[in-house]
Chains A and B, each alone.
Chain A
Amino acid sequence: MARYQTSGILRGRERGQRRPEHLTERRSKPPIVELRQASKVYAGGHVALERVSLRVDRGEFVFLVGPTGCGKSTLIKLLIRELEPTEGEVLIAGKDIATLSNDRIPYLRRRIGTVFQDFKLLPSRTVYDNVAYALQVIGAARSEIRTKVPDALRLVGLADKTKNYPDQLSGGEQQRLSVARAFVNHPPLLLADEPTGNLDPATSVGIMQTLYRINKTGTTVVVVTHDREMVDKMRRRVIGLDAGRVVRDQAAGLYSDEESTREFAARLRDELGVEDERY
Chain B
Amino acid sequence: MGRVIFFIREGARALRRSAAPGIASIVTVAVTVLLLGVLIPVLQTTSGKADEVREQVGLRVFLFDDASPEEINTLQTQIQEIRNVESVEFVSKAQALKILRDRLDAENKEDLTEQLPGASNPLPASFNVKPDDLDNMEAVRSALTPPGADGKPAPISPIIDEVADSRDEATSIRTVTGAVKWFLLVIAALLLAASLLLVGNTIRLSIYARRREVEVMRLVGATNWFIRWPFMVEGLICGFIGGAIAVAVLFLGKEAVVDPLADSINLIRGEDTIAFATLIAILLGVAMAVSAVGSGLTLRRFLRV
Give A contacts to B, CB under 8 Å.
80, 82, 102-103, 105-110, 114, 116, 120-124, 133-134, 136-139, 141-142, 181
Q: Which residue of B lies closest to A116 (CB)?
A: B219
Flag if B216 contacts A122 (CB, 8 Å): yes
By Cβ-Cβ distance, the 6 closest A-B pairs, closest first, are A110-B221, A109-B221, A106-B223, A137-B222, A120-B216, A106-B221
Given contacts A102-B304, A124-B213, contact A137 B220 (CB under 8 A): yes
Flag if A120 contacts B219 (CB, 8 Å): yes
Which residues of chain B in 1-41 are interfacial with respect to chain A, using CB atoms and an 8 Å cutoff?
2-3, 6, 14, 17-18
Cα distance, A123 to B223, chains bound together (Å): 19
Flag if B305 contacts A123 (CB, 8 Å): no
Determine which of B2, B18, B215, B226 lies in contact with A124 in the assembled complex, contact meaning CB atoms within 8 Å.
B18
Cα distance, A139 to B17, chains bound together (Å): 24
Cα distance, A47 to B287, chains bound together (Å): 50
Number of residues from B at the complex interface, CB < 8 A:
22
List the A side residues contacting B223 at CB < 8 Å.
103, 106, 137
List the B side residues contacting A109 at CB < 8 Å.
218-221
Which residues of chain B in 134-180 are interfacial with respect to chain A, using CB atoms and an 8 Å cutoff?
none
Q: Which residue of A lies closest to B17 (CB)?
A: A124
Flag if B213 contacts A137 (CB, 8 Å): no
Cα distance, A246 to B251, chains bound together (Å): 72
B195 at interface, CB cutoff 8 A: no
Flag if B224 contacts A137 (CB, 8 Å): no
Determine which of A82, A122, A136, A137 lies in contact with B305 in the assembled complex, contact meaning CB atoms within 8 Å.
A82
List the A side residues contacting B17 at CB < 8 Å.
124
List the B side residues contacting A139 at CB < 8 Å.
3
Determine which of B3, B221, B224 lies in contact with A103 in the assembled complex, contact meaning CB atoms within 8 Å.
B224
CB distance from A259 to the nearest CB of B (A): 38
Determine which of A107, A108, A120, A142 lies in contact with B2 in the assembled complex, contact meaning CB atoms within 8 Å.
A142
Q: Which residue of A lies closest to B214 (CB)?
A: A122
Q: Which residue of A lies closest to B222 (CB)?
A: A137
Flag if B221 contacts A138 (CB, 8 Å): yes
Flag if B213 contacts A106 (CB, 8 Å): no
CB distance from A261 to the nearest CB of B (A): 36
Which residues of chain B in 187-210 are interfacial with respect to chain A, using CB atoms and an 8 Å cutoff?
210
CB distance from A21 to the nearest CB of B (A): 28
Q: Which residue of B lies closest to A124 (CB)?
A: B17
List the B side residues contacting A102 at CB < 8 Å.
224, 304
Given contacts A123-B213, A124-B18, contact A181 B219 (CB under 8 A): no
- Pairs A–B under 8 Å by Cβ, sample size 28: A80-B219, A82-B305, A103-B223, A103-B224, A105-B218, A106-B221, A106-B222, A106-B223, A106-B224, A109-B219, A110-B221, A114-B220, A120-B220, A121-B216, A124-B14, A124-B17, A124-B213, A133-B217, A133-B222, A134-B220, A134-B221, A136-B6, A137-B220, A137-B221, A138-B221, A139-B3, A141-B2, A142-B2
Provide the B267-305 mask, 1 if CB < 8 A to any CB of A, else 0. 000000000000000000000000000000000000011
List the A side residues contacting B215 at CB < 8 Å.
120
List the B side residues contacting A121 at CB < 8 Å.
216
List the B side residues contacting A181 at CB < 8 Å.
220
Flag if B219 contacts A114 (CB, 8 Å): yes
Cα distance, A133 to B230, chains bound together (Å): 13
Q: Which residue of B lies closest to A114 (CB)?
A: B219
Cα distance, A116 to B215, chains bound together (Å): 13
Determine which of A123, A133, A142 lies in contact with B220 in the assembled complex, contact meaning CB atoms within 8 Å.
A133
CB distance from A113 to the nearest CB of B (A): 9
Cα distance, A106 to B221, chains bound together (Å): 4
Flag if B219 contacts A82 (CB, 8 Å): yes
16 new A-B contacts, CB < 8 A, other than A120-B219, A124-B14, are A102-B224, A103-B223, A105-B218, A106-B221, A106-B223, A106-B226, A109-B221, A114-B219, A120-B216, A123-B212, A124-B18, A124-B213, A133-B220, A133-B222, A138-B221, A181-B220
List the B side residues contacting A103 at CB < 8 Å.
223-224
CB distance from B108 to the nearest CB of A (A): 64
Q: Which residue of A lies closest to B305 (CB)?
A: A82
Q: Which residue of B lies closest to A123 (CB)?
A: B213
Cα distance, A60 to B244, chains bound together (Å): 59
Q: Which residue of B lies closest to A185 (CB)?
A: B221
List the A side residues contacting B217 at CB < 8 Å.
122, 133, 137
Cα distance, A145 to B179, chains bound together (Å): 64
List the B side residues contacting A137 at CB < 8 Å.
217, 220-223, 226
List the A side residues contacting B210 at CB < 8 Å.
124
List the A side residues contacting B224 at CB < 8 Å.
102-103, 106
Cα distance, A142 to B3, chains bound together (Å): 11
Q: Which residue of A lies closest to B13 (CB)?
A: A124
Determine which of B2, B213, B304 lies in contact with A122 in the assembled complex, contact meaning CB atoms within 8 Å.
B213
Q: Most chain-B Cβ atoms within 10 A of its Cβ — which of A80, A106, A181?
A: A106
CB distance from A132 to the nearest CB of B (A): 11
Q: Which residue of B lies closest to A113 (CB)?
A: B220
List the B side residues contacting A123 at CB < 8 Å.
212-213
List the A side residues contacting B221 at CB < 8 Å.
106-110, 134, 137-138
Cα distance, A114 to B219, chains bound together (Å): 9
Which residues of chain B in 215-266 are interfacial with respect to chain A, using CB atoms and an 8 Å cutoff?
215-224, 226
CB distance from A86 to the nearest CB of B (A): 18
